[in-house]
Amino acid sequence: MSGHVHKDYIGAKFGMWLFLFTEVLLFGGLFILYAVYLARYPQEFISAGGELDVRFGGGNTLVLLTSSLFVAISITALRREKVRLAMGLLGATIGCAALFMINKYFEWTAKFSHGIYPGSEHFAAMKPGEVVFFNIYYLTTGLHGIHVVIGAIILAWTMCLIRSGRVNAKDWVILENAGLYWHLVDLIWIFIFPLYYLVLH
The predicted structure's pLDDT at residue 3:
41
Secondary structure (3-state) at 171 = strand
Max Cα-Cα span within the chain: 67
- In terms of pLDDT, which residue wins out, 152 or 119? 152
Number of domains in the chain: 1
The predicted structure's pLDDT at residue 201:
61
Which own/partner pairs from 95-102 qualify as long-range (CB within 8 Å, at least 24 positions apart)? 96/63, 96/64, 96/66, 96/67, 96/70, 97/67, 97/148, 97/149, 97/151, 97/152, 97/155, 98/152, 99/63, 100/60, 100/63, 100/64, 100/67, 100/148, 101/145, 101/148, 101/149
Beta bridge partners of 168: 171
* Burial annotation 98-118 (CB, 10 A radius, 16+ → b, else e): ebbeebbeebbeebeeeebee
Residue 176 and residue 58: Cα distance in Å, rounded? 27
At residue 139, does pLDDT exceed 60? Answer: yes
- Mean pLDDT, residues 29-36: 96
Task: Record the pTM.
Answer: 0.91
Task: Give me the CATH number covering residue 68.
Answer: 1.20.120.80
pLDDT tens per residue, range 154-191? 999 999 999 999 999 999 999 999 999 999 999 999 99
Q: Structural domain of residue 169, as residue ranges?
A: 2-198
Beta bridge partners of 67: none
- Asked whether the beta carbons of 117 and 123 are under 8 A apart, the reply is yes
- 133: exposed, middle or buried (C-beta count within 10 Å: 0-12, 13-18, 19+)? buried
pLDDT tens per residue, range 34-67? 999 999 999 999 999 999 999 999 999 999 999 9
Counting residues of the chain whose pLDDT is more than 70, the rounded percentage is 96
C-alpha separations of 175 from 11, 44, 115 in Å? 15, 44, 42
At residue 5, does pLDDT exceed 60? Answer: no
